[in-house]
Chains A and B, each alone.
Chain A
Amino acid sequence: DTAVSQTPKYLVTQMGNDKSIKCEQNLGHDTMYWYKQDSKKFLKIMFSYNNKELIINETVPNRFSPKSPDKAHLNLHINSLELGDSAVYFCASSRSEGRSTEAFFGQGTRLTVV
């Protein structure tokens, strides 16, 4: 009964490939996020969706496209993968009542581009 689950946990792929990471939350939250933890260990927000609508889109290459089929899912599709995309990607969700509240995180997906 994992609250925020993301698949796969590990992903190794070659440069130039297209891959997707899936995220699902069963908490009834209406805001979901994608974060990237880079090699310097910074957790940086990439996208935020509220009720399936994009509300935060940080400076992220167009190769990254989030898709939210419903409130409980936020998938991340990455085209033409590059070496610099190697990182740990975290999905998260939170209640949104007009402001930030505590976010619940998935276990992360370690993406390695070779």
Chain B
Amino acid sequence: DQQVKQNSPSLSVQEGRISILNCDYTNSMFDYFLWYKKYPAEGPTFLISISSIKDKNEDGRFTVFLNKSAKHLSLHIVPSQPGDSAVYFCAASPNRDDKIIFGKGTRLHILP
């Protein structure tokens, strides 16, 4: 029962272009969403988050968009850089609960 779905296992983007990573969720109780980035042989590192009271949060090159009606969020990276090549995990948290539920991840390749 995948409550957080990342349907694209991998994505290749040219350096300098925009990378868009997508995530869908099924649980309407989720009210906090996070993106993590993971390099090989390392743990996931927090990237950016968004609360359900917002529809957009921006931090430098990273922007997360939330569409609650569609239960969809996306991470935009612009411009994409070689160091952005990693696995990106979408995660969500239900209200007043410490559990963070992760998607399977999307591997992003930034092409030179």
Contact in complex: B99, A56 (CB < 8 Å):
yes
CA distance A33 to B98 in the complex (A): 10
On whether A43 and B98 interact (CB within 8 A), knowing A92-B43, A103-B46, the answer reads no
Q: Mark A69-110, 1 if CB is under 8 A from B, else 0.
A: 000000000000000000000101010101110111111100
- Chain A residues with CB under 8 A of B44: 43, 90, 105
CB of B95 within 8 A of chain A?
A: yes
- Classify the interface of chain A: helix, strand, loop or mixed: strand
Q: Is A48 an interface residue (CB 8 A)?
A: yes
Q: Are B89 and A99 in contact (CB under 8 A)?
A: no
Contact B46 A107 (CB under 8 A): no
A residues adjacent to B (C-beta < 8 A): 4, 31, 33, 35, 40-45, 48, 50, 55-56, 90, 92, 94, 96, 98-100, 102-108
| CB-defined A-B contacts under 8 Å, sample of 5 | A35-B102, A43-B105, A44-B102, A100-B97, A103-B100
